[in-house]
Amino acid sequence: MELLTRIEEIYKNNNSVDIANVLIRIGQVYYEQGGYNILPAFHPDYAYGLYRMGQIYYDMNCLTNNLQYRKRALHLREQILFKDHQHIGRSLYELGNIRSKEDDPQGTLEFYLRALEIYRKTFDDGNSTHPYIPAIQNDISRVRDRLSIDL
């Protein structure tokens, strides 16, 4: 999956998202059909590949496919990583971003709050704070403000 991610980055940097999408999808199909026997099915790199597919669809503003791949990545990460792993937090945050684009402030808030909880457990040691913590807090404030306006 690392090679496929690198290919995606090259094409994405050249504004060739469609080509990157095709290459990543070919790699995913090849992997799922057993041609890529280096990794087991429940491997963090496979979850990362699903996550990156979601990112391609996000960049293409194709929210339905983005949501599908991000949920698959989250589901796999929840099965193979410990409960409060930062990658699970990141997946939750990205799902919140999708909900925000779909104009679902309540769903957005739920994902952001879960992501913040994980980042606080993982990174907030009282002396230093991970940069995602204040960013998520700002996003939560923005969504709460919006919810109070909508009421």
Considering the domain architecture, whether residues 69 and 87 belong to the same structural domain is answered as no
Domain extent at residue 98 = 82-151
Domain boundary among 80, 96, 130: 80
Considering the domain architecture, whether residues 8 and 69 belong to the same structural domain is answered as yes
Considering the domain architecture, whether residues 12 and 74 belong to the same structural domain is answered as yes
Q: What is the pTM of this model?
A: 0.74
With a pLDDT cut of 70, the percent of the chain lying above it is: 70
Domain count, the chain: 2
Per residue in 77-135, pLDDT tens?
999 999 999 999 999 999 999 999 999 999 999 999 999 999 999 887 766 678 889 99
Considering the domain architecture, whether residues 147 and 112 belong to the same structural domain is answered as yes
CATH assignment at residue 74: 1.25.40.10
Domain boundary among 31, 48, 80: 80
Considering the domain architecture, whether residues 88 and 129 belong to the same structural domain is answered as yes
Domain boundary among 26, 50, 80: 80
Q: pLDDT-derived band of residue 54, with 50, 70 and 90 as boundaries?
A: confident
46, 52, 61, 103 from 3: Cα distances, Å: 12, 12, 24, 35
Residue 48 has pLDDT above 80, yes or no: yes
Q: pLDDT-derived band of residue 3, with 50, 70 and 90 as boundaries?
A: low
pLDDT reported for residue 57 = 82
Mean pLDDT, rounded, for 6-23: 60
CATH assignment at residue 95: 1.25.40
* CA-based nearest residue to 112, from 99, 93, 94: 93
Considering the domain architecture, whether residues 63 and 98 belong to the same structural domain is answered as no
Contact criterion met (CB below 8 Å) for 114 and 139: no
46 Rama class: left (phi>0) / alpha (psi -120 to 50) / beta: alpha
**Range in 2-16, 49-63, 74-88, 137-151 the model is least confident about:** 2-16
Considering the domain architecture, whether residues 13 and 71 belong to the same structural domain is answered as yes
Considering the domain architecture, whether residues 86 and 75 belong to the same structural domain is answered as no
